[in-house]
A and B are shown apart, each in its own frame.
Chain A
Amino acid sequence: EAGVTQFPSHSVIEKGQTVTLRCDPISGHDNLYWYRRVMGKEIKFLLHFVKESKQDESGMPNNRFLAERTGGTYSTLKVQPAELEDSGVYFCASSLIEGRSDAEAFFGQGTRLTVV
């Protein structure tokens, strides 16, 4: 069974440009999460989808970030326009069971975003 996959693995863009990150969760997992680690800091929650609906987007830093999950399958995270402080590693995770605090989350390998 395929795990959580993220594309691209690395992205280098100039300040002011737009970048779109993609996450394909494990098939059948309704819950999809985005996290990020910016330089030197801890991994922080960005948002949570249940199927195609945003369950919690309280961690989104500002309105330059837009996440979508069309059809409740894959998700995209767009940063427009990108700023230098957006550089970091963006992780996606999925889990099968909604709201269960004993549910295991499966993480992708992350997308390393560098804004220059």
Chain B
Amino acid sequence: DAKTTQPNSMESNEEEPVHLPCNHSTISGTDYIHWYRQLPSQGPEYVIHGLTSNVNNRMASLAIAEDRKSSTLILHRATLRDAAVYYCILRGTNAGKSTFGDGTTLTVKP
């Protein structure tokens, strides 16, 4: 499985934008980039995914580099509820077997 690299932790102030980076230099042409987050004591929750173009949904935006070797999850206005571990995952043809990695622990300060 292709691996991803994320910073262990990041901090943000409430109401400010947050940019969470992910490197995936070994991504294959058919891999989708997925982001999940895990709130305390809960299972992972889908956030967003993309292939080549930038994507927006009600939760976040995903900016994908032109060479697809990196991507950035953007939370436009962080809230305290956004404090979680964020995972950047590559999902290929065997999608469920994706490796989660260690993720980025996001702390949001009031």
- Residues of chain A having any CB pair with chain B under 8 Å: 4, 31, 33, 35, 42-45, 48, 56, 58-59, 91, 93, 95, 99-110
A108 to B41, CA, bound (A): 11
Inter-subunit contact B44/A43 (CB<8 Å): yes
Q: Chain B interface (Cβ within 8 Å of chain A)?
A: 30-32, 36, 41-46, 49, 51, 87, 91-103
A2 to B81: give the CA distance in the assembly, Å.
22
A93–B41 touching, CB < 8 Å: no
If A42-B102, A45-B99, A107-B44 are given as contacts, then 20 extra A-B residue pairs at C-beta distance below 8 Å, sorted by A number, are A35-B100, A42-B100, A42-B101, A43-B44, A45-B97, A48-B94, A56-B96, A56-B97, A59-B97, A91-B43, A93-B44, A99-B94, A101-B32, A101-B95, A103-B95, A104-B49, A105-B46, A107-B45, A108-B43, A110-B43
